[in-house]
Chain A
Amino acid sequence: MKEFNSLDDILDFAINEEQMAADFYTDLAAKMKNQEMKDTFEQYALEEIGHRTKLEAIKNGKAYKIADSKIVDLKIADYLVEVDTEKTNISYQEALILAMKKEKSAFKLYNDLASATTDAASKKVFLMLAQEEAKHKLRFEIEYDNNILTEN
């Protein structure tokens, strides 16, 4: 497991993760055949940049807190097959699956890191990061529930 020496170290790692996610979506956007899916992935990339900016503000001293209530997990992505990111005609349903799964794995990573650390301050940062990812996932899950599972 990755070693972290300071809170800034943790945040730098998370900021880089968000940037990598943004780059991933930008690359996908460039590959898509249809304009509407290019637009979709470009928007996802922008959302990831937004998450990065939020973390940078925290690194620069902005206060953060962890909500008491647990973020709802609809677990929609847990049972779906992986999307082939090599293809150039990803549908919006697949785009949402892809996004839900990415947020889920990021959530899991931070949650695991929180469990593995004994330092209280670090644990708090990891939990905050996990909660952020859970919120991002929920946004995609709700969109999926409302628009894809319309008759299920």
Chain B
Amino acid sequence: MERSEEYIKNERKKEWRVELQKKTKAKDRMTIERVQMPESAPEERIKSQRIEVNKGLTAEEAMREATRCMDCVNPTCMEGCPVSINIPKFIKNIERGDFLQAASVLKETSALPAVCGRVCPQEIQCEQRCFYVEKLHQPAVAIGHLERFAADFERESGKISVPELAESNGIKVAVIGSGPSSLSFAGDMVKLGYDVSVFEALHEIGGVLKYGIPEFRLPNAVVDVEINNLRRMGVKFITNFIVGQTESLDDLKEEGFKAFYVGSGAGLPRFMNIPGENSNGILSSNEYLTRVNLMGADAEDSDTPVLRGKNVVVVGGGNTAMDSVRTAKRLGAEKAMIVYRRSEEEMPARIEEVHHAKQEGIEFSTLTNPIEYIADENGRVKQVTVQKMKLGEPDASGRRRPIPIEGSEYTIDASVVVVAVGVSPNPLIPNSVKGLDVSRWGTIEVVKDKMQSSIPEVFAGGDIVRGGATVILAMGDGRKAAANMDIYLKEKYLSQKVEH
């Protein structure tokens, strides 16, 4: 996809864009207040895991918000987008009411716009670089809300276009894992004519989009539409298949697969290694969320229930911690609390998620760190000993690190504890494939921008390479890997010289 400055400028000079630019004066655009995302009422939404919090904009709201966008000569917002979506072009299409065209602009570079519109941290990416923020110190154009609007409109219209596919070349390619980076890789490769099979260890396709992100933030139906599109394009999905256990990479080679994309993610929970952490009732956020999101443990009659408790303590301050604690609330916890070692300012969770959590009655105990779990006579956790922290002086990196305040220890009652302090890469492929270069963090080493590993036919991307990143970056990896694997395979099997 061409993304040169000249291309962006020429696009901006198209007749319809110029007309829009003239139609509303800049000062009038500036007087419009940023749209507020309509939300489900906190007291209603906490009754179910399946009620989406953000309800989406109406067409009128979206067009009005799109009018705020200045259609800048130098759209700095695009620099803030990891996949360089042509942001002004899609927004201006919304302003003129051509919502399907807006969705098609998004799809030029993003495989899952309805997902990204919901879960991307726009406030630290595109929106942070918006003219309104940089020059006017005013709230950014709601790029994320508009992205979601356009993608939802297309989906709900039933007019989802299937991209043109190249003629089949018969080359078999295997994808390991079915999260965002794998899906975007599979989409690009099938378009190029490859025979793509996606192997997923779980019984559902979608990876972290399904097992990790609760339906109140990202409904599974939204993800399923994207998966069905890929299916219509010819991608084969094989579930309950663990590459490295069900069959090895070598077995798949014998079955005719010529190249592999490893997008197996960061599904290995990380624990704190403090005393008592093995007590019953202490779960990783991976297990907790997977049981609810993927196995329906929120249903009263679930065959695979999850522990519920009156007092649920969630350790951590990322989006996963917010997802876990808000899930606990929806499962009936009287008291659901975040315990986080740093201050709220340092929380890696999106501001929106923290805000929604507070609306839902979640308690926050910041600058507080668990140091021991106390179990009852049956080995079930009953209390957490925590210690207050203070932020030290900024160090050489400018970061203020938390330091324990000795003597400040106290206990919190807890019937369930969810540990959400971070995740590590899934170790199965790194440990089972000989000759694969792996970092000390357990991530697969790849040539930057090519996503090719130390084994030429093995490419990798997403969290298995980055350790932990956003959906959009994972998708970007998938696209880069597809482009480079295409070159590799064409040169090797189709005797085509490809210009690099």
| Interface positions of A (Cβ within 8 A of B) | 34-37, 39-40, 72-75, 78-81, 83, 91-95, 97, 142, 145, 147-152
Contacts and interface: CB of A to CB of B under 8 A. Distances in A.
A152 B316 contact: yes
Given A72-B392, A75-B403, A148 B270 contact: yes
Contact of B441 (A78, A80, A92): A92
A75 B348 CA distance: 22
A56 B420 CA distance: 45
Contacts of A37: 440
A93 B270 CA distance: 9
A152 B439 CA distance: 23
A37 to B, nearest CB: 7
B440 A36 contact: yes
Contact of A152 (B340, B372, B403, B442): B340
Contacts of B270: 93, 148
What 9 A-B pairs have minimum CB-CB distances, sorted nearest first? A151-B318, A152-B421, A150-B422, A79-B371, A151-B422, A151-B316, A80-B273, A92-B440, A40-B440
Nearest to A145: B401
Contacts of A95: 440
A40 to B, nearest CB: 5
A148 B422 contact: yes
B435 to A, nearest CB: 10
B320 interface: yes
Contacts of A39: 440
Contacts of A40: 440
Most B-side CB within 10 Å, residue of A97, A142, A150: A150
Contacts of A148: 270, 421-422
A46 B474 CA distance: 35
B206 interface: no
B438 A35 contact: yes
Nearest to A37: B440
Contact of B317 (A72, A94, A145, A152): A152
Nearest to B318: A151
Given A72-B393, A142-B395, A151-B321, 11 more contacts: A37-B440, A74-B403, A79-B371, A79-B387, A80-B274, A91-B424, A95-B440, A145-B401, A152-B340, A152-B341, A152-B422
Given A36-B440, A79-B371, A152-B316, A74 B401 contact: yes
Nearest to B396: A142
A31 to B, nearest CB: 16
B45 to A, nearest CB: 24
A73 to B, nearest CB: 7
B428 interface: no
Contacts of B320: 151
Interface string B45-56: 000000000000
A79 B317 CA distance: 20
Contacts of B424: 91, 93
Nearest to A76: B404
22 contacts: A36-B438, A37-B440, A39-B440, A72-B401, A72-B403, A74-B402, A79-B371, A79-B372, A79-B387, A80-B274, A91-B442, A93-B273, A94-B273, A145-B401, A150-B421, A150-B468, A151-B317, A151-B321, A151-B421, A151-B422, A152-B272, A152-B340
A95 B321 CA distance: 25
Interface string B371-392: 1100000000000000100001
Contacts of A152: 272, 315-317, 340-342, 369, 421-422
Given A149-B341, A151-B348, A34 B438 contact: yes
B163 interface: no
Contacts of B58: none
A106 to B, nearest CB: 21
A74 B395 CA distance: 12
B24 interface: no
B403 A73 contact: yes
Contacts of A78: 404
Contacts of A94: 273
A39 B395 CA distance: 28
A148 B274 CA distance: 14
Interface string B266-289: 000010111101000000000000
Given A39-B440, A151-B316, A97 B403 contact: no
Contacts of B393: 72
B431 interface: yes
Nearest to B349: A151
B438 A150 contact: no
Contacts of A81: 273-275, 277
A13 to B, nearest CB: 30
A83 B431 CA distance: 21
B274 A150 contact: no
